[in-house]
Amino acid sequence: MAQKFVYFFGNGHAEGRADMKNLLGGKGANLAEMTSIGLPVPPGFTISTEVCTEFYKNDSNYPPTLADEVAVHLAQVEALMERKFGDPANPLLVSVRSGARASMPGMMDTVLNLGLNDITVQGIINQSGDERFAYDAYRRFVQMYSDVVMGMDKHLLEHLLEQKKDARGVHLDTDLSAGDWKDLVAAFKAQIKEELGVAFPEDPMDQLWGAIGAVFGSWMNQRAITYRRLNNIPAEWGTAVNVQSMVYGNMGDDCATGVAFTRDPSTGENYFYGEYLVNAQGEDVVAGIRTPQPINRAKATTLPPMEEVMPECYRQLDSIRTILETHYKDMQDIEFTIEKGKLFMLQTRNGKRTAPAAIKIAVDMVAEGLIDQRTAVKRVAPEQLDQLLHPSLDPKAVKNIIAKGLPASPGAVSGTVVFTADEAESEAKTGRKVILVRIETSPEDIHGMHAAQGILTARGGMTSHAAVVARGMGKCCVAGCGDIKVDYANQCFTTRGGVVVKKGDMITLDGTLGEVMLGAVPTVSAELTGDFGTLMAWVDGIRRLKVRTNADTPHDAKVARQFGAEGIGLCRTEHMFFDAERIAAVREMILADDIEGRELALAKILPMQKSDFIGLFREMKGLPVTIRLLDPPLHEFLPQEEKDIVELCKTMKVPVSALKHKIETLHEFNPMLGHRGCRLGITFPEIYNMQVTAIMEAACELVKNEGFSIVPEIMIPLIATVKELSVLKQNAVAICDVTIARYGVKVEYLIGTMIELPRAALTADEIAVEAEFFSFGTNDLTQTTFGLSRDDAGKFLPFYVDNNILPEDPFVSLDQNGVGKLVKMACELGRATRPNIKLGICGEHGGDPSSVIFCHKVGLDYVSCSPFRVPIARLAAAHAVLDEK
């Protein structure tokens, strides 16, 4: 038996099903499904995706049996419709549409009214009794077919149409008569012949095969190829072709066309939401020339709704709504047409929705018994939650966008512009809301970033200092805004468009879109509704991965706990060093010439660090807390600007030359690859000793005085060799044990390491001999694996992503092929040495859904991310479990 290539649907029977999307495309599969469940679908047939594959395999030839199969199925349609394709008296007209598994820009989309020619048009006049309708349909067909099938420049035909209207002295298409359209059909054909050198096909079968060929041909056009490459869609998938008998919403006032959602796609409310137009074709609803009317009075309306204008059809449509939801068990996006009082369904598919709608629909449908909790959880995309967790601009507000940058940290805020961290702090103290604008930020700006509502930087990428810190704080940030030029001297910035914004001017940032607006744009605040809580409880019941947070302060920790964090995966102790009262002691330590001097300065920092840790431990109430010892190079703590150097020397009472010499000595060509992380701990053991003392004293005091149960996790950064870790672990263990003995309490602790250098991942089996846990620092691991500085990548990384040299920014979504290979290897090697080793991730990727799913797959114990991304990570972790089925 020959392979079957064509699948019929019509009159309650279909050869296809909804789950045959791979073979029939999304559109064809759903047309078949709707037909099978008894919905009124104009009959037709689908030529399967396998034909497309065969076509390209065989040098653009169709399978030999195809023509016969199409003929047989066409005859079935003719029989049902009681019309004949190409028949002069009672012709059948069809639409031809492409239909891949996923909709694909660049593909040929639709040809309507196919089958018309100078003879069959008379048949349509007979059928409809409306000459103007028939010629209007005919000219639309010629325009559409010549454009998408023949490659005619459509503006040439539109130009003829404009000429005709001018000649007739009218403005609207609707003012043209049947005769005008008839003239235009002839004129169009002449122009096509002249332009393309071939005549417009008159034979309906030629037209049909032309359209089918155009669909298959468009599968390999450049735009489609590019789209597939960008979205990793294999060329072998192919497209299907749907041939369906035409129905008309524009044959009179008993005709209509419309689109609807089975629930409100913005809010998720459970009512029938849709629009329709009387006497119109589908394209008119979206064209925006006429204002579509609502289908019902679910929301207030002044326009007459369909439920009143065509009550019978509405009743039928409303019952179809229920049938579809019950059948598909999801909110549907449908298209329908009413021809002379008879309702036809042209399309159904799962409807797109906002984040709040997604959650409400999912939770409601569980309550309605339509779906189970696991399905509900799958219905919400983790990334969508981001919309919910931050305030956003009022969608109705007018926006005066003056610049665009990177959407570095979501949310929307307004404030007056300041240019220094100190100003931000002092202004904020007076209760003013400010936006801190910097060319780029450094750790010294932290207090200003804290004080500001939002941060705008001219330089730096999605993982620049400003972006990382802002996301950590859950603070709105637009980074790398190359559209602005910051002039500190004159306290202003100028946009590419020439707008000058001075200190004190009000601006608004949209960190979700990366937009900068002049003036204050109203915002609406986030609301974590009851549905959100319900859904997240289901999420937590499903996921295996724990979700921790990256938090440096009790405040961050508290926010993260509210978002459901189950511990701290990364506390960066250096951020505590920048506090105004501490930085002096830190600098004293750096400037000291000998170990005694350094220890003297460190002794001043010890009680402060200890109180930090007490605060964190208290906030986390016994949940695990991973504390990373000092990581950045020491020069980050010294000023770089002449003015600041002079000032500091005054305060510290040291000669300017001494400080300058120190700064020069500490200068590094590649600080990212320099004297930092555990290399500081090795060369200046007193620094880590102080930090470990502070951690253990904090833990011991809480255990002793407040009965806490704490297992501090001490994390040593930038390990490249097991030797580094064994030396530092030995020091740390000695201090821990002495401290514990001093307090006379029992406190357990873990000592582990970041895996953030390729060498650490490659030798993880050796490192696991010493490390009790690994935490993958995928920011630095990405930098070193790619040889890519995230601070400098702005010059070429956007070009790389735009040109698909990289599928996406590897600092945002983990590069699973390269960096991920190292992570996987390290997990396997680490577990081989120490089967119960604790594995986590604390890079920014810990809050990226696809990266979280990867982390689940390689078997990590937890991910850690910024507080505002904790719910996203929780949801992604649940998806990871559900994806396993």
Nearer to a second copy, 298 or 762 (CB): 762
803-842 positions binding a second copy, by CB under 8 A? 803-806, 815, 817-819, 821-822
Q: Which of 788, 812, 858, 881 binds a second copy (CB under 8 A)?
A: 788
Nearer to a second copy, 397 or 727 (CB): 727
Q: Which region, judged by CB under 8 A, interacts with a second copy, from 372-380, 387-395, 473-481, 756-764?
A: 756-764
Cα separation, 610 vs 621, whole angstroms: 16
Q: Which region, judged by CB under 8 A, interacts with a second copy, from 41-49, 63-71, 490-498, 789-797?
A: 789-797
Q: Which region, judged by CB under 8 A, interacts with a second copy, from 212-220, 306-314, 362-370, 792-800?
A: 792-800
Element (H, E) at 504: none
137-196 positions binding a second copy, by CB under 8 A? none
Cα separation, 360 vs 798, whole angstroms: 36
* Residue 231 interacting with a second copy (CB under 8 A): no
Q: Which of 249, 321, 346 is nearest to 41 (CA)?
A: 346
Q: Of 313, 678, 842, 865, which is the active-site residue?
A: 842
Element (H, E) at 530: helix 530-542
Type of residue numbered 345: M
Nearer to a second copy, 154 or 723 (CB): 723
Nearer to a second copy, 96 or 819 (CB): 819
* Residue 786 interacting with a second copy (CB under 8 A): yes
Kindly report the backbone phi and psi dihedral angles of residue 108, in degrees, each rounded to the nearest multiple of 5, phi listed first.
-60, 135
Cα separation, 783 vs 557, whole angstroms: 27
b/e per residue 317-345 (b: at least 16 CB within 10 A): bbebbeebbebbbbbbbbbbbbbeeebbb
Element (H, E) at 325: helix 311-328
Q: Which of 780, 809, 844, 848 binds a second copy (CB under 8 A)?
A: 780
Q: Which of 158, 236, 642, 792 binds a second copy (CB under 8 A)?
A: 792
* Residue 441 interacting with a second copy (CB under 8 A): no
Q: Which of 401, 652, 727, 750 binds a second copy (CB under 8 A)?
A: 727
Residue 266 contacts residue 333 (beta carbons within 8 Å) = no
* Residue 787 interacting with a second copy (CB under 8 A): yes
Provide the minimum distance between the beta carbon of 804 and a second copy in the complex, in angstroms, as a whole number.
Answer: 7
Beta-carbon contacts of 291 under 8 Å, excluding residues fewer than 6 positions away, are 303
Q: Which region, judged by CB under 8 A, interacts with a second copy, from 37-45, 351-359, 368-376, 723-731?
A: 723-731
* Residue 271 interacting with a second copy (CB under 8 A): no
* Residue 531 interacting with a second copy (CB under 8 A): no
Query: Judged by CB under 8 A, how many residues of this single chain contact a second copy?
Result: 48
Can you read off the two tokens belonging to residue 766?
């050796």
**Calculated CA dihedral for residues 583, 584, 590, 596, nearest 10 degrees:** -130
Cβ atoms < 10 Å from Cβ of 183: 17
Nearer to a second copy, 59 or 802 (CB): 802
Nearer to a second copy, 182 or 676 (CB): 676
Q: Which of 799, 832, 859, 883 binds a second copy (CB under 8 A)?
A: 799
Q: Are strands 625-628 and 713-716 parallel, antiparallel or unpaired?
A: parallel
Beta-carbon contacts of 183 under 8 Å, excluding residues fewer than 6 positions away, are 164
Provide the minimum distance between the beta carbon of 107 and a second copy in the complex, in angstroms, as a whole number.
Answer: 25
Burial degree of 414 (CB within 10 A; 0-12, 13-18, 19+): buried
Provide the minimum distance between the beta carbon of 795 and a second copy in the complex, in angstroms, as a whole number.
Answer: 5
Provide the minimum distance between the beta carbon of 758 and a second copy in the complex, in angstroms, as a whole number.
Answer: 4
Nearer to a second copy, 291 or 665 (CB): 665
Rounded to 5°, the CA angle 446-452-454 comes to 100
Q: Which region, judged by CB under 8 A, interacts with a second copy, from 152-160, 288-296, 382-390, 760-768?
A: 760-768
Nearer to a second copy, 271 or 799 (CB): 799
Provide the minimum distance between the beta carbon of 798 and a second copy in the complex, in angstroms, as a whole number.
Answer: 10
Could you confirm whether 476 is annotated as catalytic?
no
Please tell me the number of Cα atoms within 13 Å of 726 on its side-chain side.
Answer: 8
Residue 840 contacts residue 443 (beta carbons within 8 Å) = no
Q: Of 52, 73, 390, 465, which is the active-site residue?
A: 465
Please, which residues bridge with residue 485 across strands?
494
Beta-carbon contacts of 113 under 8 Å, excluding residues fewer than 6 positions away, are 93, 95, 137, 138, 140, 141, 144, 246
* Residue 785 interacting with a second copy (CB under 8 A): yes
* Residue 636 interacting with a second copy (CB under 8 A): no
Nearer to a second copy, 190 or 805 (CB): 805
* Residue 718 interacting with a second copy (CB under 8 A): yes
Nearer to a second copy, 222 or 683 (CB): 683
Q: Which of 506, 603, 673, 745 binds a second copy (CB under 8 A)?
A: 673
Q: Which region, judged by CB under 8 A, interacts with a second copy, from 44-52, 61-69, 274-282, 790-798?
A: 790-798
Cα separation, 568 vs 815, whole angstroms: 24
Beta-carbon contacts of 283 under 8 Å, excluding residues fewer than 6 positions away, are none
* Residue 220 interacting with a second copy (CB under 8 A): no
Cα separation, 283 vs 110, whole angstroms: 11
Type of residue numbered 261: F
Q: Which region, judged by CB under 8 A, interacts with a second copy, from 329-337, 371-379, 513-521, 783-791?
A: 783-791
Can you read off the two tokens belonging to residue 590?
């750096």
Q: Alpha helix (H) ranges present in 577-716?
A: 580-591, 595-620, 642-652, 656-666, 678-683, 685-706
Cα separation, 778 vs 761, whole angstroms: 11
Provide the minimum distance between the beta carbon of 268 and a second copy in the complex, in angstroms, as a whole number.
Answer: 40
Q: Which of 37, 370, 750, 762 binds a second copy (CB under 8 A)?
A: 762
Q: Are strands 484-487 and 492-495 parallel, antiparallel or unpaired?
A: antiparallel
Q: How many residues does the chain have?
A: 885
Type of residue numbered 494: T
Could you confirm whether 73 is annotated as catalytic?
no
Q: Which region, judged by CB under 8 A, interacts with a second copy, from 52-60, 604-612, 672-680, 836-844?
A: 672-680
Task: Give 3-state DSSP helix, strand, coil % of the chain, rounded to 5.
Answer: 50, 15, 35
* Residue 720 interacting with a second copy (CB under 8 A): yes
Residue 366 contacts residue 376 (beta carbons within 8 Å) = yes
Nearer to a second copy, 552 or 766 (CB): 766
Residue 448 contacts residue 474 (beta carbons within 8 Å) = no
* Residue 795 interacting with a second copy (CB under 8 A): yes
Q: Which region, judged by CB under 8 A, interacts with a second copy, from 360-368, 393-401, 640-648, 676-684?
A: 676-684
Type of residue numbered 403: A
Provide the minimum distance between the beta carbon of 438 and a second copy in the complex, in angstroms, as a whole number.
Answer: 15
Residue-wise DSSP of 334-398: EEEEEETTEEEEEEEEEPP--HHHHHHHHHHHHHTTSS-HHHHHHTS-GGGHHHHHS-EE-TTS-
* Residue 723 interacting with a second copy (CB under 8 A): yes
Cα separation, 191 vs 185, whole angstroms: 10
* Residue 758 interacting with a second copy (CB under 8 A): yes
Provide the minimum distance between the beta carbon of 587 and a second copy in the complex, in angstroms, as a whole number.
Answer: 19
Q: Longest Cα pair distance anywhere in the chain, in angstroms?
A: 106
* Residue 674 interacting with a second copy (CB under 8 A): yes
Nearer to a second copy, 618 or 857 (CB): 857
* Residue 683 interacting with a second copy (CB under 8 A): yes
Nearer to a second copy, 119 or 666 (CB): 666
* Residue 671 interacting with a second copy (CB under 8 A): yes
Residue 215 contacts residue 98 (beta carbons within 8 Å) = yes
Residues annotated as part of the active site: 465, 842
Q: Which residues bind a second copy (CB under 8 A)?
A: 668-675, 679, 682-683, 718, 720-721, 723-724, 727, 756-759, 762-763, 766, 780, 783-789, 791-792, 795-796, 799-800, 803-806, 815, 817-819, 821-822
